[in-house]
Structure 1
């Protein structure tokens, strides 16, 4: 397929005008992706919020820029810590250029507290919101309508570096917790692609849409607000609070 831009070296307006009128090469519930030359892609955030458990699915326009505000800063912090992410540069309120690596059908989840799927899948093992003595890393197979836990030996049978993915996920956890303090990071999910030399690359967005965060006063700063039925105005105002005092 011929391209009319030179990817990461192109002026921002060239990239934005190039994608207008072109169907996305890949489209999901929360993003559209256009393939670019040189192993890059252009990604546009769709400001959607979805909860399978609470059967709620809406567009909340202001969450798109807030997600990218957070991701841009998080990617810089992770890079400083030696963690390779796909993020390259932001080109608009909701668009950015990234390395393109195909997404595998599984994600890596880190839990610092017993919340969400831990309580649903394993009722009675932990008290709700209980701090875990050490971060728990698990792998979920990404499938509609609800992701399912997958045994690590299945991933090893596919030749995937399970221990390295675990190490990287824990490194992300440490970096984000240190950066966000005193905001508490309760859990989050990551998707890793792989470079040509088979090294893991964090390709998923790191934002309020894929983690649970608690303000020092105990209030949620993430998608739990949506899950609980909060108004769009409450969601966006709370998400903005996340940036108060954030370096």
Structure 2
């Protein structure tokens, strides 16, 4: 795994000191399953990661404290690589073990998924199309509507009717895929999901976390380094130990 010395944090200490204090001063403006968010001046927000793990297919929900810092460690490094490659990222600066400063872009109710290997929902929802674990001839991009209890595929024409830049989101998702696969090599990136937001001027930005919580990642020996461990019933200690292996080359 290759790393870079570049840093996405262009904010000064003074710029982040004020926003960082809101976590202790007031309740979050938005609370989700995996994040809490405080709106701050300048169209920005402070995000705190909630160390939650959830598997709909396995009906399993748990809190594993040590996964929060690991997720942000991964995301901080990934955001630097992606920004260098021309992907506009909302991430601005790390504020603490599980908090960071970001541009605030309202999250749309759908996510973009890139599949390099036929696994997960591909073989579960479309049985017989591909053998499980088979590399796809080219990356597949799909859009899922985010709804409880399980996200559902959404036809691209619905998004086009809403005047959303489907082709640009597809292009950016594939660029993210190229950057992550190059950076993470020799680890294998099977798939991942991202969320794109838009500024008031309509500019696209990657607003979601990029970490082992939202991808399938394999060690060269074939063992999982991601949430598949949780889906498979691994203990909290085993999951944390394996997630840390992804950082061995950093």
Q: TM-score range by the shorter chain?
A: over 0.9
- Per the alignment, residue 69 of structure 2 pairs with 65
In structure 1, what is the Cα distance between the partners aligned to 2:110 and 2:12?
28
**Structure 1 residue 195 displacement after superposition:** 1.7
1:129 aligns with 2:136: no
Asked if the contact 2:115–2:141 (Cα under 8 Å) also holds between the matched residues in 1, the reply is yes
In structure 1, what is the Cα distance between the partners aligned to 2:159 and 2:15?
41
In structure 1, what is the Cα distance between the partners aligned to 2:167 and 2:81?
23
Q: TM-score, normalised by structure 2?
A: 0.93
Question: Which ranges in structure 1 are unaligned for 5 or more consecutive residues?
Answer: 1-6
Choose which of 77, 80, 103 in structure 2 pairs with 1:76: 80
Report the secondary structure of 1:67's partner residue.
Answer: helix
Q: TM-score, normalised by structure 1?
A: 0.94
Asked if the contact 1:8–1:40 (Cα under 8 Å) also holds between the matched residues in 2, the reply is no
Report the secondary structure of 1:20's partner residue.
Answer: helix
In structure 1, what is the Cα distance between the partners aligned to 2:71 and 2:22?
23
Structure 1 residues 8 and 34: alpha-carbon distance in aligned structure 2, compared to 1, 3 A threshold: farther
Structure 1 residues 43 and 161: alpha-carbon distance in aligned structure 2, compared to 1, 3 A threshold: same
- Per the alignment, residue 158 of structure 2 pairs with 154
**Structure 1 residue 207 displacement after superposition:** 0.3
- Per the alignment, residue 4 of structure 1 pairs with none
In structure 2, what is the Cα distance between the partners aligned to 1:34 and 1:218?
39
In structure 2, what is the Cα distance between the partners aligned to 1:184 and 1:167?
21
| Count of equivalent residues | 240
Moved more, 19-28 or 207-216: 19-28
